[in-house]
Amino acid sequence: MGLGLLSRDFFDRPAHEVAPELLGRVLVHGEVGVRLTEVEAYGLPGEDPASHTYRGQTPRNSVMFGPPGHLYVYFTYGMHYCANLVCLPEGHGSAILLRAGEIVSGLDVARARRNGARDRDLARGPARLAVALGWGREDNGLDMIGKVLDGSPPASVLAGPRTGISTGADTPWRFWIEGGSDGLAVPAARAQAAWLNGSRLRRPEPSQLRGDLGGRDPEVGTAEQVQVVAGVNLQHLAAPAVAGSHVDLDVLDLVPRGRGGSPRSRARR
């Protein structure tokens, strides 16, 4: 792993371009370092109905309209914080949700913050990742330039629909490392994904989707809704064109569960 640091220019691009290139990078906060294994991109106001900025700037999402490379931290479900990295120049309103990672330094500190969790679960999920790194409301707006290590990119990346949202769910802006430690499930109804590996793209095996949220066997669809490209630059993917209400991003495994073991779906109107 290299010891270089990502510059602000790295984040001064569309979120769906930056997101796959964030995989394998290491976030450092205090004593803890986390290698990113899963992220999701969220687009511009009026274009991405799943983004917190879809209906414009508010006091809550104002950091997303700030300079690129800053941390946007929000409180959700009355109990958890989730963290995003802002993309594009000031005034645009776009970011990347940090969904999962693996602890590469400060393991004892992360264990203390996530008391009782297995090591592989310490940063497995967006809220758990924030806890492991010690992020909270006070870190909203934190400048992360100088705190993201430029590590080696992964050999292969999986791309598929975003999870835990009720609108814009089919947009393939969720990216994760094949064989990564995140282990997050994909809902069966949206278990369409693609395996990006050099110039060849293929649908992942059911075992790679790790089951759906209800514990049933995954129903893997075709990859026709995921655009095929070579390499990890997905800049030509169109922004979602689905209209709908503004929703909170799901915390997945940390959301209170309803009948059948599936997380309850809640939308913020």
List of the chain residues with pLDDT < 70: 1-3, 180-269
| Neighbour count for residue 199 (Cβ, 10 Å) | 9
Using alpha carbons, list the distances in angstroms from residue 16 to 2, 47, 108: 24, 13, 33
pLDDT single digits (tens) 163-200: 988 899 889 999 999 876 443 433 322 333 333 333 22
101-118 pLDDT per residue, tens: 999 999 999 999 999 899
Quote the CA–CA distance of 152 and 45 in Å, as a whole number.
32
Confidence at residue 149, expressed as pLDDT on a 0 to 100 scale: 95
3-state secondary structure of 35: strand
Quote the pLDDT of residue 100: 97
If 0-12 CB within 10 Å is exposed, 13-18 middle and 19+ buried, where does residue 118 land?
Answer: exposed
User: DSSP assignment, residue 48?
Assistant: -
Class of domain 4-261: alpha beta
The residue written with tokens 């104002």 in the block is 62
Q: What is the C-alpha separation between 220 and 191, in angstroms, rounded?
A: 5
Query: How much is the pTM?
Result: 0.70
Rounded Cα distance, 98 and 269, in Å? 23
Could you tell me the two tokens for 110?
């992360």
Secondary structure class of 17 (helix, strand, coil): helix
* pLDDT value for 180: 64
Supply the DSSP string of 159-175, one letter for each residue: EE--SS-SSSTTS--EE
